[in-house]
C-alpha cells in the first residue's frame, strides 16, 4: 500500500470518526444538550508540552458541555508512575478520565476506574487486546499505517536528494518497548520495502535506540556515531517522533540541509521550522487536537446517551513543504487557544 493511499484512507477514517461522534453525542442545533456539570481529567503517560494541541481539543469540548477540565501527571515516564497518576485521578472522583493504555500494567487501573463509575476513555495510544477486554475503543493514530507513510517518504526523499538506488535507511526508536513506537518502527520498515517494490530501489532498513525523547545531547551523540559509521551509505535518517537530534547532528558534522533525507512522525512547531529551513523533508500529523476533542465527545456520548464510543483513527496526514503553510496556519490557531487557556 503506498503512502498516498494510506494517508487518504486515514483522512476518510477521521471524517467517519467525526460523523460517528457527532451522531452519538446528539448535536442537533449546534449546541450540546444541557446536563449536570461534569469533571474530566486528562492523565498523560508523561507530562510535557507534547500534548498541548490535545489539551486544547479536550478543553474546547469541556467548555461546550459546561464541564470542568484538569490535567495531572508525572514528567518522568514509567508504567508505575502512569498507574499512580491514574489512581490519583480516580481518587479525586471525576466523571471522566482520558488517558493512554500503552501497557498491560494499566489494565488494573482502568478496571478500578470503571468499577468506581468513572467513564474511562483511551486516547492517543492503546493496546487493542487490553482495550477489547475493557470493551473500550481507542481514539488515536494507527501507528503502523502511519509508519508506512514514514518509511515510504524515507525512500522518496532518499532517491530524490541523493540520486542513489541503494543505501541504508536508519530509524531511531525513541522508546523501545512502547507499543506505539514499536508499531511506528515496524510500519516504517514496511514503507521502505513498499518503496523498493514500487521503484526498483534496494534500500535496507536498520533501527537503533536513539533516546530522542530524552536528553538531547546524548541523542545527538548517538546520531553522530551513526553518521560516522554509515558514511556515504546512509541515505535517510528517520525519527519516531523527534527529528531534532538528527538534524543537529548533521549541523555539528558540517553537513548541509538536504544532503540526505530526514523526517519523522509528528509535526510540532520546531519540526515545522526544520522543514521550512530544509533540514527535514516531512512530518506526519497525528492530529492530537482531534484526539482530545473526540475523547471528550466520546465520554459525553457514553454518559448522556448510554452509547459506547467507537474506535476512531486520527492522524496519518503527510506534511511536506508543499502543504506546510496550511499546517502552520492551523497550528497558530491552537497555539493561540493554548495561550488563552494557560497551557503555555
The residue ranking higher by pLDDT, 225 or 24, is 225
In the CATH hierarchy, which fold is given to the domain comprising 3-136+287-316+324-341? Rossmann fold (3.40.50)
Share of the chain above pLDDT 90, in %: 84
Q: In the prediction, which pLDDT does 212 show?
A: 93
Max mean pLDDT among 26-35, 45-54, 91-100 falls in: 91-100
Given a cut of 50, is residue 36 above it in pLDDT? yes
Residue-wise pLDDT for 303-335, tens only, equals: 999 999 999 999 889 999 999 999 999 999 999
**What are the helix (H) ranges across the chain?**
3-25, 52-65, 79-91, 107-115, 128-134, 143-162, 179-199, 216-230, 244-252, 269-276, 288-305, 324-341
Average pLDDT over residues 284-302: 97
In this predicted structure, what is the pLDDT of residue 77? 86
- Span 143-285: which CATH code? 3.40.50.2300
**pLDDT-based confidence at residue 76 (cuts at 50, 70, 90):** confident
All CATH 3.40.50.2300 domain ranges of the chain, comma separated, are: 3-136+287-316+324-341, 143-285
- Residue 76 makes CB contacts below 8 A (sequence gap 6+) with 46
pLDDT of 50 > 80? The answer is yes
Pick the more confident residue, 23 or 246: 246
**For position 33, what pLDDT does the model report?**
63
Q: What pLDDT does 179 receive? A: 86
**What is the pLDDT at residue 5?**
45
Q: Which residues have CB under 8 Å from 135's CB, separation 6+?
A: 308
The pTM (predicted TM-score) of the whole model is 0.85
Amino acid at each position: 500500500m503506498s503512502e498516498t493511499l494510506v494517508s487518504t484512507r486515514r483522512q476518510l477514517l477521521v471524517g467517519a470518526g467525526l460523523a460517528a461522534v457527532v451522531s452519538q453525542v446528539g448535536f442537533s442545533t449546534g449546541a450540546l444538550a444541557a446536563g449536570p456539570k461534569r469533571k474530566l481529567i486528562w492523565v498523560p503517560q508523561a507530562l510535557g508540552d507534547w500534548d498541548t494541541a490535545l489539551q486544547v481539543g479536550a478543553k474546547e469540548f469541556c467548555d461546550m458541555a459546561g464541564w470542568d477540565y484538569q490535567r495531572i501527571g508525572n514528567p518522568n515516564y514509567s508504567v508505575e508512575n502512569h498507574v499512580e497518576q491514574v489512581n490519583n485521578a480516580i481518587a479525586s472522583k471525576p466523571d471522566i478520565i482520558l488517558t493512554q493504555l500503552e501497557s498491560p500494567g494499566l489494565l488494573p487501573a482502568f478496571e478500578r476506574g470503571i468499577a468506581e463509575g468513572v467513564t474511562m476513555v483511551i486516547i492517543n495510544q492503546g493496546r487493542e487486546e487490553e482495550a477489547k477486554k475493557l470493551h473500550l475503543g481507542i481514539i488515536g493514530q494507527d501507528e503502523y499505517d502511519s509508519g508506512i507513510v514514514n518509511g515510504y517518504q524515507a525512500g522518496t526523499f532518499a532517491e530524490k536528494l541523493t540520486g542513489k538506488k541503494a543505501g541504508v535507511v536508519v530509524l531511531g526508536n525513541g522508546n523501545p518497548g512502547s507499543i506505539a513506537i514499536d508499531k511506528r518502527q515496524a510500519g516504517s520498515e514496511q514503507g521502505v520495502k513498499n518503496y523498493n517494490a514500487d521503484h526498483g530501489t534496494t534500500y535496507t532498513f536498520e533501527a537503533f535506540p536513539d533516546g530522542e525523547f530524552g536528553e538531547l545531547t546524548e541523542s545527538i551523540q548517538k546520531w553522530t556515531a551513526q553518521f560516522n559509521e554509515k558514511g556515504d551509505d546512509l541515505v535517510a535518517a528517520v525519527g519516531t517522533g523527534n527529528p531534532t537530534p538528527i538534524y543537529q547532528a548533521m549541523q555539528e558534522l558540517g553537513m548541509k540541509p538536504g544532503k540526505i533525507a530526514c523526517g519523522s512522525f509528528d509535526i510540532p512547531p520546531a519540526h515545522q521550522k526544520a522543514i521550512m529551513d530544509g533540514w527535514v523533508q516531512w512530518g506526519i500529523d497525528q492530529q492530537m487536537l482531534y484526539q482530545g476533542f473526540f475523547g471528550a465527545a466520546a465520554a459525553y456520548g457514553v454518559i448522556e446517551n448510554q452509547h459506547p464510543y467507537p474506535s476512531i483513527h486520527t492522524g496519518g496526514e503527510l506534511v511536506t513543504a508543499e502543504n506546510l503553510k496550511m499546517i502552520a496556519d492551523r497550528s497558530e490557531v491552537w497555539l493561540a487557544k493554548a495561550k488563552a487557556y494557560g497551557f503555555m
